[in-house]
């Protein structure tokens, strides 16, 4: 399965992607991601293996894609049903290699992922969350039509124990369909 946009290809994570994924997932400057940075290359290898297996599972809950631009993996994104017991909603997430930020790639990938979620999965809502100190990610959510439904949340980072504010955004199928009609 591949998702195509004007400039990007989103495709499932696969064995052999480890080095390019680690280039952004191992970046020590990434501090506003729950489970990143990966401190070791082995952590990235384990991540890739886990998600390759997930793509092969008949009970798949997490759709982890790499974002490819001009033949190079520049980031990753996922559509996750694992937070919804009845699979009625998904959560989206994305990360872009720091060398490729501020060029609209996250918004382009997130829009394709949103389209995938509503077109391919039987869900009615999609959520995304970000650290309240991450205006770029919040901007992506707004650009793809999401609305902030909670600006008073908190998150605790498992690796550091740091507590920060959290924004939760939402878009419903109905809102997405209306936006697609425009």
Question: Which residues in the chain show pLDDT less than 70?
Answer: 31-38, 180-182
Residue 122's pLDDT is: 83
What CATH number is given for 3-181 in this structure? Answer: 3.40.630.30
- Please name which of 32, 39, 175, 38 lies closest in space to residue 94, comparing C-alpha atoms: 32
Residues 30-69 pLDDT 10s: 756 666 666 788 988 999 999 999 999 999 999 999 999 9
Q: In what order do the strands lie in the sheet with 163-172?
A: 3-4, 8-12, 62-69, 72-80, 89-96, 125-131, 163-172, 147-156
Residue 120's pLDDT is: 93
Residue 39's pLDDT is: 77
Residue 86's pLDDT is: 82
Residue 91's pLDDT is: 95
| Greatest distance between any 2 Cα atoms in the chain | 45
Tracing tokens 């039987």 back to the chain, one arrives at 122
Residue 53's pLDDT is: 94
Q: How far apart are CA 170 and CA 181, in angstroms?
A: 19
Q: How far apart are CA 23 and CA 48, in angstroms?
A: 13
Residue 2's pLDDT is: 95
Residues 6+ apart with CB under 8 A from 180: none
Angle CA(117)–CA(150)–CA(78) in degrees, nearest 5?
Answer: 25
pTM of the model: 0.92
Q: What is the dihedral sign for C-alpha 3, 87, 104, 76? A: negative
Q: How far apart are CA 162 and CA 34, in angstroms?
A: 10
Residue 182's pLDDT is: 57
Residue 34's pLDDT is: 61
């Amino acid at each position: 399965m591949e998702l195509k946009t004007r400039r990007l290809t989103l495709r499932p994570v696969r064995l052999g992607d480890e080095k390019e994924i680690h280039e952004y997932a191992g970046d020590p400057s990434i501090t506003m991601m729950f489970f990143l940075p990966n401190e070791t290359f082995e952590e990235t290898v384990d991540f890739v293996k886990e998600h390759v297996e997930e793509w092969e599972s008949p009970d798949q809950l997490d759709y982890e894609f790499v974002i490819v631009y001009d033949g190079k993996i520049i980031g990753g994104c996922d559509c996750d049903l694992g937070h919804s017991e009845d699979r009625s909603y998904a959560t989206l997430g994305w990360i872009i290699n720091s060398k490729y930020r501020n060029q609209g790639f996250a918004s382009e990938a997130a829009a394709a992922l949103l389209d995938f979620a509503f077109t391919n999965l039987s869900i009615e809502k999609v959520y995304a969350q970000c650290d309240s100190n991450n205006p770029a990610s919040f901007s992506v959510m707004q650009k793809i039509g999401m609305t902030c439904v909670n600006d008073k949340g908190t998150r605790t980072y498992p690796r550091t124990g740091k507590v920060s504010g959290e924004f939760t955004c939402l878009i419903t199928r109905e809102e997405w369909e209306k936006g697609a009609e425009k």
